[in-house]
Structure 1
């Protein structure tokens, strides 16, 4: 384009450009100049998939609960607030805490670890069935359910809305000590009144499977299925259990550890901080310290029920305590 050296030439060019733009706007569709559409009000389906060794792992989001920071014990309120702020965790109305379950496809079994809360704890939870379907699976395809423990946010999802088994073709597994504690009628009767509903939740969830002969118990360290070993994790509840998946070592193994950590912002840095829900807080702290050290040393993949969704990642050892390294989103690698 020739350079316009005179003022008159530059003015003529600008006038021509503006005139052309005005003319073009007259022939554009009306909606091209309209306001943008209304904002969307739904989130993406709550599942995330990753291959670890020879297994396929699908994290399933059940929803969230808001936990009061006063439930955390073993550090001052100021320390807890500082640790939350350090991780940009808002706590004004309670800390938003995810509830996750994990679907493991070993090629031989389709295993669900924990089942979510169903309708036991209000409208912010209970969407695992929807996310299971969104992930490409059906409840009838699940042949094994492994329960880390029998709290309602892990076991209530065993029942469909009408009280029938939600997983009609599955065998349910829980640790022997866990079953003895929650399913014992005498324990429920002796429990404080405010705790008794939690016993009923556990008993109602398990009862149809017991009646059908599909409830089995194990001891800590037992091999439950090929490539699936129970991991002792008592403290949060009497028979709380984790599960190690994979025949490999370290980065080819996945430890699903249930409720070892409720607050990622606080309990990685300060593993000595317990939560009010722990049946035996001293043992829960010792278990947390042991599993954090094991996960960091062996570079295990870890999946946690109350870690920020998808709740999968690694534990890194720090000068003081540990830190959580969440999985990065990536395409599914085929082998």
Structure 2
């Protein structure tokens, strides 16, 4: 979020902030309806043509377009509507598409966060009140939502994490275990840039999740070097020289995050390396993506984004020493720690 425009009266600035939900919903539905995809793929269209193609009411569509155009998402060209480079990212076909996050945000996040007041009063995740069950249980029990979640995570890997490993080299070690590795995309990216063709890997996640890694590893020609293992990192993890936790710890509160780290410590030999890929919450009042993401974690999972000192304490209590924090071109950092 941008800094407050102090040239405007506070009431005007606050009114715009309070109306922020209108913009996000407009972007969600314009993505899901296919309007952004049509414009990005086929060029400027009239509202009438867009309405017919997308199955939309023409008047409602025109008013949605008018709303987002003032934010630079679309632009008008005579009687036609064109998409801007910003709006093009809502297209399902764009190479840096945010479509998965937009549609996933509408169905996976937006409605549950409406119960944020419940979280404020009780400390419980808003999703627990809205869905009546833990967030991941709700998603796993609905195939359509599970597919949306996977799509949103794929967008994260392609966009928000893009360039993260540029110039980065893994520490010494023969085996890298990606815990909570999902479809294996992060480990495949890391090993693909590693330059050590004899290093081996393990993708570890829940049995019904990790099966998707086979296709990813096959496409990356890594099937002969990477083992796919099902299990829970709360119980036991494989032995390895290097462990990777990518966007995992922020899903959990401090108690559960400590359980995960202690499970890793129980399997890791002395001197094993741990790489934690997360955002770090900076001090002060400056805007940062992690501060917004922290509300998502609070509302949906009861997890949290953390400051560097908070990571240091968690790691220390589990038997790891935080050695350095490596900045990356993405919003995330690589926290390197070593098992005592």
TM-score by length of 1: 0.31
Would you tell me which structure has more strand in proportion to its own residues?
A: 1
Structure having greater relative contact order (Cα 8 Å, sep ≥ 6): 1
Larger Rg computed on CA atoms? 1
Would you tell me which structure has more helix in proportion to its own residues?
A: 2
